[in-house]
Amino acid sequence: MLTDHFRPQSFNGIDDIVIVGGGLAGLFCALKLSPRPVTVLAAAPIGHGASSAWAQGGIAAAMSPGDSIDSHVADTLTAGAGIVDEKMARRMVAEGPARIHDLLAYGVPFDRDLEGHLLLSREAAHSERRIVRVKGDMAGRAIMEALIATVRATPSIRVMEGYVVEELIREGRFIAGVVARPDAGQSRKRISFPARAVVLCSGGVGHLFSVTTNPREASGQGVGMAARAGAIIADPEFVQFHPTAIDIGRDPAPLATEALRGDGAHLIDRNGRRFMLDIHPDGELAPRDIVSRGVFAEVAAGRGAFLDCRKAVGAHFPQAFPTVYASCKAAGIDPVTQPIPVVPAVHYHMGGILTDAEGRTSIDGLWAAGEVTSTGVHGANRLASNSLLEAVVFAARIAENIQGMLPAPRQGNWAGNAGESDDLVTVEDSPQLRELRRTMSAHAGVIRDRAGLLTAARTIAALERDTPRLRFANIVTTAKLIVAGALLREESRGGHFRSDFPEPGAQWQHRTFMTLTEANRVVDDATETAIV
């Protein structure tokens, strides 16, 4: 809700549809709505602030002769550790091939074999080769480049770059627009964008943690904004760590794609021992949460963790995986002849804004797609390369739903002055955010327990009290939701591991649904009990 101090002026006319976020979900939705007028608000130049552009593996789709929808759904259910919404997952998987053909039509140069068929690869926890890739590890970049070119050539899509959305405008039970700050969020001016429909595609939460593979813009602001406006949030405790971020001290950490392990690369300690074979029968191809904990344990024990690609990839590395190769070479590592040092890093948030099969949230007028959501298709642990699939499938569903609900576009003034404010924060340089990131990594990271989560809750409460800035309030709200969900779930499942409750519990085989009011109550009760 808007505060009185920052309430926008009233304007005649409204923009028809505002999409928040210039990643895969946002751009795909805009294209699917064409030729209907759409305004896309992006915090960074489109393609530069989105995790989609950094995705290395590709898109999972059951498209080979030996594959099937049932098989892909079964793998998704297994990875999701018992709480996947099967109906939603089946919808997503069934529509995957059609969305791949959409991307091909937009010019995405997916890899093909000599006969022109799509070249499919395998990743961890997939029973078939169903990953559609581009040049080994360049799928995200190639997809985004194709979509950006198409968006810029589409007259009905207005792209406003450098606009950081800070608030949802709520009027009664409806979301009626957004308030954004231009100049990458550093302007004193605030602009209101009234709208008949708002689609949140603002990305993930990686920069709530110290080590992440996500761009800086992925700091959880979308989830926090929606929660503060009253939206229901689902499964916030489930955070996926990628086990093989390249450990070279960069923020964000570059990624050594899972496709390397799919092609036979091994995880070893500094003595050359393949430690994953002692942890899981699938070794390096075990589900990500298991591999992440295995890597975390080796690093914590001082034995180090390294991805050995010398035999599996060897001299073909520069051509087969150019992105990973370039990151390694920039750090003085030659992956052709040297193992790559790795560490777990926050990679994906299975939780987020609760949506239905059409991308509708619990607030009228607000839709959401991509990592900011929790559709239920990932459960407790996302299956590799299902994230880009989810983004395009549900972005298309949102476009169809909006066209059906609001068949006639309405024209009018599409923006207005919402006043000025000195309430600025450069998110990536904020000492408050640095403290929050350290706290979340230390106490709500790969391994959690009640004592650590209570410490995180107290720190969050202090930061909230001492830093009454709007954008930081969105960020810290998302951190609070993650901690509240983790405190409630007294078991270990998928991306959520509690050392004080190391086994899954049958009574917890369900999703989490909460509002910010409920999260506040969980955190307040827990911290008060701890103090007593």
- Active-site residue flag, 158: no
Can you spell out the DSSP letters for 111-140?
A: -B-TTSPBPEE--TT-SS--EE-STTT-HH
Q: Residue 154 in contact with residue 106, Cβ under 8 Å?
A: no
What the block records as the tokens of 246 is 């390249």
Looking at beta carbons, which pairs linking 488-492 to residues 24 or more positions away fall under 8 Å?
488/237, 488/512, 488/522, 489/237
178: left (phi over 0), alpha (psi -120 to 50) or beta: beta
Phi, psi of 245 (to 5 degrees): -75, 145
CA distances from 111 to 133, 136, 487, 490 (A): 6, 8, 44, 44
Q: Residue 196 in contact with residue 177, Cβ under 8 Å?
A: no
* Of 34, 22, 45, nearest in space to 157 by CA: 34
Looking at beta carbons, which pairs linking 75-79 to residues 24 or more positions away fall under 8 Å?
75/125, 75/126, 75/127, 75/383, 76/377, 76/378, 76/379, 76/383, 76/386, 77/379, 78/125, 79/125, 79/287, 79/378, 79/379, 79/381, 79/382, 79/383, 79/494
CA distances from 379 to 4, 368, 382, 474 (A): 39, 18, 7, 24
48: left (phi over 0), alpha (psi -120 to 50) or beta: alpha
**Beta pairing, strands 38-42 & 157-161:** parallel
CA distances from 512 to 208, 238, 447, 487, 488 (A): 20, 10, 19, 12, 9
**Beta pairing, strands 120-121 & 131-132:** antiparallel
Rounded (10°) CA dihedral 120, 260, 217, 60: 20
Q: Which residues pair with 120 in a beta bridge?
A: 132
CA 135 to chain centre: 23
Q: Pick the catalytic residue from 288, 448, 471, 489.
A: 288
HEC profile of 196-219: EEEEECCCCCHHHCCCECCCCCCC
As a whole number of angstroms, the distance between CA 442 and CA 467 comes to 21
As a whole number of angstroms, the distance between CA 84 and CA 510 comes to 9
**Interior angle at CA 240, CA 162 and CA 515, nearest 5:** 70
Angle between helices 139-152 and 86-105 (to 10 degrees): 60
What the block records as the tokens of 26 is 């946002």
Catalytic residue numbers? 288
